[in-house]
Amino acid sequence: MMLHFTKMHGLGNDFMVVDLVTQRARLDSERIRTLADRRFGIGFDQLLLVEPPSRPDMDFRYRIFNADGSEVENCGNGARCFARFVLDQRLTARREIAVQTAGGNLLLKVAEDGRVRVDMGAPRFNPGDIPLTADGESHAYTLDVDGETVTMDALSMGNPHAVIDVESVDHAPVTTLGPRVETHPCFPRRVNVGFMEVVSRQHVRLRVFERGVGETLACGTGACAAVVSGIRRGLLDQHVDVTLPGGTLSIEWAGPGQSVIMTGPAERVFDGRIVI
């Protein structure tokens, strides 16, 4: 069958977006891995599926699959692309869009300039919600990683995140320490690993090693997690610019129990079709 798709990116974090409202397809993990290959397929960090909602108060269901074929709970950069996609494809005329995800519901708002503001929901810190195997809640967990002691914060933004402070992201061990923390036994569903450099109380630099993908040019939920971690430890103010290799996101958080608000761009690259 012929499958229509759109290639999009949010600050270089790239996606294959597929409308499963007006067309039908079954994409298993093997097929997703083939499509994700940058030499033999389309090439992407994540596959985003637009599906009809299962609840009457939601506009769409939003599903996310990593390049390795694993389904994940949330993706902030993908959420912005999702919002632009359903508007561009005329699946909705609304600029406030409510979507279901495996990690909770999101509210997406598309501004006239095309930037998208996403209510990412409230972060969760209980180890069982992350999930993380730990005796109790903390913002300074220590891990033994192959004999090396690593101190980190951990929380959920609908998906699991570890945040590690570094003096400089330019020299951070993203590609060496990142995969070892991602697959550490204390994270039963693996974890996204953020390396954060605090520049000022309103600005951080960040690199993220994403589970099932590797290092990406940007990670929306990773930016949210890093800012939340910094705010709750007294390092940051409530409104912070996060500079990632692919560009900058604006993150706001008013404190425990409040939603994290992420604002940033979403870009269409091209439309295509492929036989599957």
Question: Annotation-wise, does 126 bind a ligand?
Answer: no
- Residue 76 is assigned to a ligand binding site: yes
Q: Is 105 annotated as a binding residue?
A: no
Of 75, 81, 186, 224, which residue is the catalytic one?
Answer: 75
The annotation status of 66 as a binding-site residue, yes or no, is yes
Please report the DSSP string for 159-208 in residue order: SEEEEEE-S-GGG--HHHHHHHHHT-TT-TT--EEEEEEEEETTEEEEEE
Q: Which of 81, 186, 219, 224 is an active site residue? A: 219
The answer to whether the CB of 208 falls within 8 A of the CB of 216 is yes
Alpha-carbon distance of 97 to 118, in angstroms, equals 10
> Is 89 labelled a binding residue?
no
Task: Tell me if 74 is assigned to a ligand binding site.
Answer: no
Catalytic residue status for 75? yes
Output the CA–CA distances (angstroms, integers) from residue 181 to 68, 135, 177, 207, in the order listed: 18, 18, 6, 14
Rounded distance between C-alpha atoms, residue 185 and residue 190, angstroms:
8
DSSP H or E segment with residue 100: strand 96-101
Report, in angstroms and rounded to the nearest whole number, the Rg of the chain calculated over CA atoms: 18
13 annotated to bind ligand: yes
Binding residues for substrate: 13, 46, 66, 76-77, 159, 192, 210-211, 220-221
Annotated binding residues: 13, 46, 66, 76-77, 159, 192, 210-211, 220-221
User: What residues are labeled active site?
Assistant: 75, 219
